[in-house]
Structure 1
């Protein structure tokens, strides 16, 4: 069987994402981002195109690399305004049965106890189709908003992130045993109290007693995504992430990044196939190459994202280059960005997806119907929960064996 390509749509809950000025293009509908109908239609389009997930980027402050005020960002909608992605995920889940949802949240400025409950709630409501894109946040304004004078240093951010994840893992994986929920109608017993546990976490940054307020969700821990950019980030991603986002536009460089991350994952005892790697890709397509080029010229005044791969061409040319990049880089798939929304994705679903399917490198249908969690779709039927070689499971075994979790 040919290697199957995985696809996510890369979006943000606001009028501007990677090509900020294109919200003003007459074909773009991003200013509808405040209407649920916009998100419901987009989710249905992606499910029709058999996408794995919609990947919702997010920021927790304005872009201010020099600590400047927000005018430069708000003028062109440089991810400002930016609404919370969580509510639209719950809405999109009501009109889809297979599409996954990846949300971005920061370990630096969230609180793990309340965050873990929100994640479990969404994993329940989506029936196990949730992923979390882990970020640590570096913007000055992100630190200023909760009252800090400046962002934490990189080392401090990752130390905090490690403990944040440890608390979440304990809440998701340890607090409730698999058979804790009994639903004994006769005895009016919903959950066995002997199988619901406090976690009693005491650390350098967090003291969390528990227990987790949510019963186990379909995946317990959501699928974990992370962007491996810095050296520390790649180490963090190789240890924790199941999906890793690589930004780059040179196949040779991407291949080296892929190989490095897989080596680091192996050093943590993880199998290479238990980590999926995604590149960033923008596709402008038409029925002919000339039509695709005319579209790109039309979009060009507002297009300036050069951080990812770009293909302009007819469906055969697009499929050729996607296949070539997968073969040359070792990537497992792509996060597709939009130039105009939803037209970029609509063209891709209508024109490119059938060609990928014809070549046998992209699913014809979601299988089996209505039963896969997002993790099972990415890694196989047997992977309903975290893989047995995930480093967190060693933590779980160690905590259980030392009786750290108490009633």
Structure 2
């Protein structure tokens, strides 16, 4: 009986969310003719028009190829909705998925595979001496699917569906290649930054930190502190999209290591804490089996990580409606909260350690679990 009640409740919540999303979609005026879906596709590097690109609408089972000027068009009889899922493919080019809005002239670009794969070495050393891993250019799926939420709630009936609202709808995002710090910024690296810039120490900075905790992630830093360090090091904070791709790769996995539930062999989480001497943290890079597909460590647990973006719970819905770029998205121009990713040592809920989870916090917050790592563009 309880299982049936939970299933009925989940079904009602899902129906309500679907109705809410439909209400957000642009409505076609009654009696108006449906717009066409058209645009142009160019080479991402040379900007030359691409002829012979296969443009497919998998949900509608229709296909076009671009002409000599890179243009394509689907008639209004073939387009059943204003927002359409599109897959672009051409021999020698990276295949990727996006969404197109009927009635707008789309400008799309595709990178050649050799440009995607040969942007630089797999690991470089940043100006601050920190190794950085390459995340190649290409598309990945951001957020969580409704099916994955259903599966999660079946396994964790105590969780609530609305907790996943900031992560839906799942959608494709294209990112240019970039490098990300292989490890969270450590206390020793941050100490060098403080000495060079005369910046105040983080919250709960113990006198013994450099002697006993030099290799642990620095925590207790506000967003401005993290951003200032990255700028000092010739880098920047990663965008929310960059962080998620670096954490989970392109196969849609739940965690950096895969879909296996977190264990103490994979991540540092749910530990007893001692705020005064960083006793709950672990040296960066301690969890070899928990690293991401690109070789980044501690992207689940150890320390929460600041990213560049302001927080907006509806950002994914805006992208799905065509109001937000899905290529190198930067987040809102302003806001009240910044985004945190990855969970920390004092989180016991496996949901928090998932790579798609988005958490908001005021940028002035200096809690004991807040750390960061930096990114920079690939040449």
**TM-score above 0.5, yes or no:** no
TM-score, length-scaled by structure 2 = 0.23
Scaled by the length of structure 1, what TM-score is found?
Answer: 0.22
More strand by share: 2
Larger proportion of helix: 1
